[in-house]
Chain A
C-alpha cells in the first residue's frame, strides 16, 4: 500500500541526497590547489552523470532484485517493472511491513547513494588522474563494487540476510568508498609534488560550506533510510544532528592538544566523520549512545588523518580516514550498543546479545577486503587499456586547463575573443593541442 506521507518524505530525501554530491564537489574543490578546482568538482558532477546511467541500466537490478547471496539478478535491468507499486522483491515484501513508497521512488533514492559513493572515491585520485580514465573507472566501479556491496548490505545479500545491521550504508557507501580510495591511491600513485612540497587547500571557505551542505543533505540520507515516516527514520534524523556535533567537539579537543589551535578544515572533516559514523547506526542506537559514538569516532579518524601524511600513500583527500574508518567504527558500534527498545529489531552486546557483534564483525572483516581487491584489480585493468594519469607537465599546469579548457578563476585579462564564425582549424593553429 502506498502511503502519501511516506512518499512525500522520500521524494524530498532523494533530492537532499543528490545535493550532497554537489556539496562534496565544493568540499573537495576547496581542498585542492586552485589550478585543479574545476576538475575536482567535475569528478563529482561526472559521478552524477555516469552512475545514474549505469544504475538505471543494470546497477539497481544487481543490487536490489532477487538473486544469489552474492549479487542480485537482472529482473529490474533497464528499469523493467520498476513502476508505481512498492518493490516486489520477496526480501522486501516479507520483511517486517512491506514498503509503502512507489518502486520508482525507491529506485531514485538508492540511485543518489550510488552516485555519491562513486564521487567519494574520486577524492583519492584528484589532481593527477586523467578525466577520461576516471569516467570509465566510475562506470565499472559503480557496478562491480557498489552494486555488489549494496546487495550485501541492503538488497538481500548474505550480510543483511544474515542479520548484520547497517542503517544507511556503512557497508556499501562508507567502507566501500574508503577502502576503494586506498586501492585507487596505490594504483594511480602519488602526485608529483607530494611529500616534496607543501600542497595546501586553496579555499577553506568552500571546504566549510561543502561540509555544511553535506550535513544538510545527510538528514535525507539517514532520515530517508527508514523509507518513510517511522520510528527508525525519526531516530536517525535526530541522531544525524547529535553525532556530528559531538565529533566536532572531540575534534576541537584533539586539534587543540596537538597544535594548540582549533582548525577550520579540521572542523569540516569532523562534520563528515560524525555523519559517516552515524550512517550505519542511525536508526539502531539511542540518542545518548549516538552522542558517545560521535565523541568516539573522532579518535581513530583523527589518528589516521594525522598518520597518513607520514606515508608515501597519497590518498589525497583522506577518504579512507573520513569514510572507511568512520564507517568501520559505526558498523562495529552497532554490535555493542544497538538497543531493541529504540529500534524494535535487535540488541547489541551491551544489552545482552553478543551474536549481534558477531554479525557486525563479519561485515568489517569482509567488505574492506572486497572493496580494496576489486578496485585494485579494476584500476590495473584500466591501466592496461589507457594511461591512468596525466604527464608531469600537465600536472604542473593543472587539470582544469588540460582536461576542461577552462579556469576556475579566469580574469579575462589577455583573452582574445575568437569570432564564432572562425573555422576550428584556424583557432587551433599556433595553439597548444
Chain B
C-alpha cells in the first residue's frame, strides 16, 4: 500500500479528477494548499503597495492505494495536471503502514478497495 500525494495547479484539478475516475481510482482526499516550487514570482500592486507573491495556490490530492493502483494513480495525476509550464506540481509516493476503514473495521488492502469493487 502506498500513499500517493499529488500537488497540482488549481485550474487542473477538475482534469485530474476526471482522469482519476477514468483510471478507476475513486477514493481520495483533496485540500487547498499554498506552496512554492521554483516557478517565477507574480508581481501584484495594490495602490502604492507592490508585492511579490512567493506562494502559489495549489490543490493537494492524497490517494491511498493498493500496490496495483500506484502506477495508474500516478499516470492519472500526470495526465490531468500536465500543462508543460513550470509550476505543474509534484507527486510524492510514500509507504503506508496501516489503513483502517472506520465503518467496518476492515484493514489494509480491503480498506483501500472501494465498496462493491
Chain A residues contacting B54 (CB-CB under 8 Å) are 414-416
- A407–B45 Cα gap in the complex (Å)? 10
Q: Once the chains bind, are B50 and A418 in contact (CB under 8 Å)?
A: yes
Measured CB to CB, the closest approach of chain A to B43, in angstroms, equals 5
Interface flags, A151-194, vs B, CB<8A=1, else 0:
00000000000000000000000000000000000000000010
Chain A residues within an 8 Å CB radius of B12:
396
Q: Which residues of B contact A417 (CB under 8 A)?
A: 49-51
Number of A-B contacts (CB under 8 A): 66
A393 to B83 CA separation, bound complex (whole angstroms): 8
**Smallest Cβ distance from B26 to chain A, in angstroms?**
18
Q: Give chain A residues whose Cβ lies under 8 Å from the Cβ of B34.
A: 413-414
B42 to chain A, nearest CB (A): 6
Closest to A193 in B: B14
Within B1-57, the residues touching A (CB, 8 Å) are 9, 11-12, 14-15, 34, 36, 40-46, 48-55
Q: A427 touching B50 by the CB < 8 A rule?
A: yes
Contact A427 B85 (CB under 8 A): no
**A414-B54, A418-B52 known; A430+B40 contact, CB < 8 A:** yes
Contacts A416-B51, A417-B51; is A407 near B40 (CB within 8 Å)?
Answer: no
For residue B9, which residues in chain A have a CB less than 8 angstroms away from its CB? 396
Determine the chain A residues whose CB is within 8 A of the CB of B50 once the complex forms.
417-418, 420, 427
Write out the residue numbers on chain B whose beta carbons fall within 8 Å of the beta carbon of A416: 41, 51-54
Nearest CB in chain B: distance from A167 CB, A:
42
For the complex formed, measure the closest distance between the CB of B88 and the CB atoms of chain A, giving whole angstroms. Answer: 11
Q: How far is the CA of A397 from the CA of B48 in the complex (A)?
A: 24
Write the nearest CB–CB distance from A226 to chain B, whole angstroms: 42
A1 contacts the other chain (CB 8 A): no
B43 A428 Cβ-Cβ under 8 A? yes
Other-chain residue from B14, B36, B42, B83 in contact with A401 (beta carbon distance below 8 A): B42
- Asked whether, in the complex, the Cβ of A415 is within 8 Å of the Cβ of B45, the reply is no
- Nearest Cβ in chain B — how far from A428, in angstroms? 7
Identify the closest chain B residue to A433 (Cβ): B43
Nearest-Cβ distance from residue A413 to partner chain B, whole angstroms: 6
Contact string against A for B residues 55-83, beta-carbon threshold 8 Å, 1 for contact and 0 otherwise: 10000000000000000000000000001
Question: Is A311 located at the chain interface by the 8 A CB criterion?
Answer: no
Partner of B55, one of A397, A414, A418: A414
Residues of B within 8 A of A398 (CB): 11
Check B43 against A405 for contact (C-beta < 8 Å).
yes
Instruction: Give the complex CA separation of A415 and B83 in angstroms.
Output: 25
**Which of chain B's residues has its CB closest to A398's CB?**
B11
Interface residues of A in 251-282 (CB under 8 A from B): none
**B51 surroundings in chain A (CB, below 8 A):** 415-418
- The answer to whether B40 and A431 have CB atoms under 8 Å apart is yes
Q: How far is the CB of A174 from chain B (nearest CB, A)?
A: 35
Bound-state CA distance A415–B85 (Å) is 22
A414 partner residues in chain B, CB cutoff 8 A: 34, 36, 53-55
Q: Of the candidates B15, B41, B49, B55, which one forms a contact with A431 in the assembled complex, judged by CB atoms under 8 Å apart?
A: B41
Closest residue of chain B to A412 (Cβ to Cβ) is B51
Complex: A417 Cα to B44 Cα, angstroms: 10
B55 touches A396 (CB 8 A): no
- B52 contacts which of A193, A401, A415 (Cβ < 8 Å)? A415
Q: B49 touching A405 by the CB < 8 A rule?
A: no
Bound-complex Cα distance A415 to B54 (A): 6
Find A397's partner among B11, B36, B41, B44 (CB 8 Å cutoff).
Answer: B11
Docked Cα-Cα span, A398 to B44, in Å, equals 14
The distance from the CB of B47 to the nearest CB of chain A, in whole angstroms, is 10
Q: Which residue of B lies closest to A416 (CB)?
A: B52
Which of A193, A396, A432 sits near B40, CB closer than 8 Å?
A432
Q: Which of B43, B48, B53 contacts A427 (CB 8 A)?
A: B43
Pair B43/A396 contact, Cβ less than 8 Å: no
Chain A residues contacting B41 (CB-CB under 8 Å) are 416, 430-432
A431 and B45 within 8 A (CB)? no
Give the shortest distance, in Å, between B34 (CB) and chain A (any CB): 6
- Among A198, A396, A413, A431, the residue within 8 A (CB) of B42 is A431
Q: How far is the CB of B50 from chain A (nearest CB, A)?
A: 4
A158 CA to B12 CA, complexed, in Å: 53
A-B contact pairs, 28 of them (CB 8 A): A35-B11, A197-B15, A393-B83, A393-B85, A396-B83, A397-B11, A401-B42, A405-B43, A405-B44, A410-B44, A413-B34, A414-B34, A414-B36, A414-B53, A414-B55, A415-B44, A416-B54, A417-B50, A418-B50, A418-B51, A418-B52, A420-B48, A430-B40, A430-B41, A431-B42, A431-B43, A432-B40, A432-B41
Apart from A197-B15, A414-B53: 18 A-B pairs, beta carbons within 8 A: A35-B11, A193-B14, A198-B14, A393-B85, A396-B83, A407-B44, A410-B44, A413-B55, A414-B34, A416-B51, A416-B52, A416-B53, A418-B43, A420-B50, A428-B43, A431-B41, A431-B52, A432-B41
Interface set of A (CB-CB < 8 Å, partner B): 35, 193, 197-198, 393, 396-398, 401, 405-407, 410, 413-418, 420, 427-428, 430-432
